[in-house]
Amino acid sequence: MSASVGSMRIVPELRAAHIERHLRGTPAELLYLDVNYDLAGTDLAPGIQRVTSTGALRRFLTTTATTLEVPEPLWMRFWPKHVLLAAGFRAAGVLRRRRHRVVTYAMENNDLATLVGGRRRVPGVVVRLVGLLVGAVARLTIDRIAFASDDARATYASLPFTAAIEQSSTLELPRPDDAPVDPTPLTCVFVGAMEQRKGVRELMDAWPAVERTVPGATIVLIGPGPLEPLAAEWAASSPSTRRVTGRLPHAAATAVVRSSAVLVAPSVADGRWREQIGLPIKEALAAGLTIVTTDQTGLAGWLRDHGHGVVEPTAPAFTRRLARAITSALRAPLDREQVRAALPERDGRLAADAWLHGQQARLVADVPTRPIGNVA
């Protein structure tokens, strides 16, 4: 990649998907603040550097980039840094006497009251004041905003002033894999953090009913987290049908997904968090898997319209609905080629990237990489 680029991205937590997007998307410098658990075993490409917030501000004074992509403003935990980085890049442009643009990709699909209060109810006036502040700052600092789903666009429509920002909406669907893999029948896979918000407990509660109704059904749970010991104990009670791997390198996890028949992603709301898209869902769709998930993801409407299983994660019948949906998917999975044929020719995130940065996404190039262990 050339040392002189017109764009820069800030990533709070680097994931394997960010590296792939970095290679496929608009040429840019990528600065990241921390790493995600799925990055182990993944190589970094040139143009990717770990920094602190202060280091990012210093870089703004020397970079050739005139467009900065920042994390979305409704990431409430990150919002103070969002403001610092967006304002700092604009100030650097003033100091250097050139126009700097700030753009963002928005996935948040939760309602504003929940984002402000989480599990607590807060007065309506507080919610409105927060919305006013976030909306005003977004209007003053952001030039373009691309939405990952219609739900995300609706969430931002509730903020004052944001309608005046140039915006676009492209559903974040993947393009189909170039080399699909034949699945092992009656196999189900879960990939994600072993946490309550990912519906791990509900999945473990639902699975015995699947085993009783679908002889030969097996499941693999991939990912680290506080519920991993509980899941390992659960799997040990039926080792022929259940397996818990814990943390796997991204490439290894992807291989398990591609060889499975069904991906289950039973996310539930948890405080301020709600599933926005779901990277495992995207990767499974690209391989042609049948998806069983909840209506939390911004892809829920599309998945339902295309024959996948979408259930409501509401008690007390959630576990029963989830078991039925998994059973149905395992017994009669969608045709993998039809699943892939329904996907766009271009990944929705890359299409949004090209629009945000005002360029056409480039083709994948053979770019030299360096091991993740070389950065700290």
Query: What's residue 275's pLDDT?
Result: 95
Query: What's residue 3's pLDDT?
Result: 57
Nearest Cα neighbor of 114 from 270, 284, 235, 219 is 270
The domains found in the chain, sorted by start residue, are: 7-172+347-369 (3.40.50), 187-339 (3.40.50.2000)
Q: Does residue 300 contact residue 325 with C-beta atoms inside 8 Å?
A: no
Query: What's residue 119's pLDDT?
Result: 83
Query: What's residue 313's pLDDT?
Result: 93
* pTM of the full structure: 0.89
Distance CA 328, CA 262 (A): 10
Q: Does residue 120 contact residue 99 with C-beta atoms inside 8 Å?
A: no
What six digits make up the tokens of 133?
A: 């502040």
**265-287 confidence digits (pLDDT tens):** 999 999 899 999 999 999 999 99
Distance CA 298, CA 92 (A): 35
Number of H helices, E strands in the chain: 14, 15
Phi-psi region of 278 (alpha: psi -120 to 50; beta: other; left: phi over 0): left
pLDDT along the chain (376 residues), means of 10: 79 89 92 82 81 96 96 93 96 95 96 90 92 96 96 95 95 90 94 95 97 97 96 97 94 94 96 93 96 97 97 92 98 96 95 84 34 32
Angle at which helices 79-96 and 53-60 cross, to 10°: 20
Q: Give the rounded percent of residues in the chain with a pLDDT score beyond 90.
A: 81
β-strands 43-44, 370-371: how paired?
A: antiparallel
Q: Tell me which amino acid residue 26 is.
A: T
Distance CA 79, CA 70 (A): 10
Query: What's residue 366's pLDDT?
Result: 32
Bridge partners, 188 (sequence order): 219, 262
Query: What's residue 16's pLDDT?
Result: 84
Strand extents, DSSP E, 74-191: 101-106, 144-147, 166-169, 187-191
Angle at which helices 250-258 and 279-287 cross, to 10°: 50
